[in-house]
Chains A and B, each alone.
Chain A
Amino acid sequence: MTKPRFIDILRIFFKERAYSIYDSETLEKEKLFSFLLYGWMIGFPLPVTFLSLDTLPYAEKELKKLFLIIRDMDDVFGSTLGKFDID
């Protein structure tokens, strides 16, 4: 069995890291989208738009993202540090 080269280990590490950054960026974009359309549902002073009502029947996943915003707001500092993998 051949030993993995150091460069391969590094490649895997950075690949994983890149995937994780990409995923967290996507999640942030999803949260932003949910917030823009349905922010009024969680108490933000945004006007109710009819586009948000039209899309509401298909927005179950988006509303879940919205609840993530509420959950993270309890510990904004922790969630920010979490994004940078700082424990």
Chain B
Amino acid sequence: MKVFVVGKGGVGKSTVCVALALILQSKDTMLVSLDPAHNISDIVKNHEVMLNFEIVEPDFEKELSIYLKKLTDEMKRESFRYLTVFNLENLLDVLRYSPGTEEHMLLENIKRYIDRRHVVFDTPPTGLFLKVLGLLDSSILWMEKLMELRQDILERKGIKEDPILTIIEKRLKEYVKLKNTLQNEAIFIGVTTEDRLSLKETERIFGFLRKKGYSVPLLVVNRAKEKKVYLEGIKHVFIPEYHDRNPFEISRKIHSLLKLEIQE
């Protein structure tokens, strides 16, 4: 099962993620934190039990540096004459603050771990996460058009093999596969509290996800004082205030509903 946990910051997304990982735990279960402010380890640290799942908290800065180092080496290997003109070391600073970089790194991490049998993603703040999903769609569209243009050029010049086209094709294939997996195999679980802002934000995320064709079957209402249905057509789980920080109690609550979801 591939699960994304979405919701406003501070509503208890990470705790719910740990709860879900506890339900799904096996040798092939992974809990991936996509939130740059990783706090999964802190939650787990408070509960001294053996966990049978892997926790991944990617360091995006480090990943970016490794990526650029690999790129620089590859360019040297290809005896790239323009290397001296484009100072790749300085490019790191440009890239770090360039629009789209953070979204790209997040998308790459989703792509990297999505094929695990059970994976739970703790998503970053709503605005950023919606941009990541938007980036997936726009990248696919952009690469399709770019590929058409490249194929036209190569046909005109009578070139049969081209490394640039191969890279674009490979990336496009990966992104289309990721989109299909997200639409057909993944589920998005919302977490909210009863306050108006959290509810509004959840409503907005669910609207966006449904529009994009993603499955949103479950809403976890954290610190619930009353059992009220906030979103029609979605199963609700109510976590009372005295359990809101305990992933074990939450997992007990969600367990039956989630099992139902797996069977469906």
Chain A contact residues, CB within 8 Å of chain B = 22, 25-26, 29-30, 32-33, 36-37, 41, 47-51, 53-60, 62-63
* Contact A29 B153, beta carbon cutoff 8 Å: yes
Please indicate which of the listed interface residues B81, B156, B171 has the most CB atoms of chain A within 10 Å of its own CB.
B156
A-B contact pairs, 25 of them (CB 8 A): A22-B156, A25-B156, A26-B153, A29-B153, A32-B149, A33-B153, A41-B86, A47-B98, A47-B99, A48-B98, A48-B101, A50-B104, A51-B171, A53-B67, A53-B71, A54-B167, A54-B171, A55-B163, A55-B167, A56-B71, A56-B75, A57-B74, A57-B75, A59-B164, A63-B82
Q: Which residues of A contact B77 (CB under 8 A)?
A: 57
How close is A32's CB to chain B, nearest CB, in angstroms?
A: 7
Chain B contact residues, CB within 8 Å of chain A = 67-68, 71, 74-75, 77-78, 80-82, 86, 91, 94-95, 98-101, 104, 108, 139, 143, 146, 149-150, 152-153, 156-157, 163-164, 167-168, 171
* Contact B75 A29, beta carbon cutoff 8 Å: no
Q: Which residues of B contact A62 (CB under 8 A)?
A: 164
* Contact B171 A49, beta carbon cutoff 8 Å: no
Main secondary structure of the interface of A (DSSP, over half): helix
How close is A64's CB to chain B, nearest CB, in angstroms?
A: 9
* Contact A49 B100, beta carbon cutoff 8 Å: yes
* Contact B153 A51, beta carbon cutoff 8 Å: no
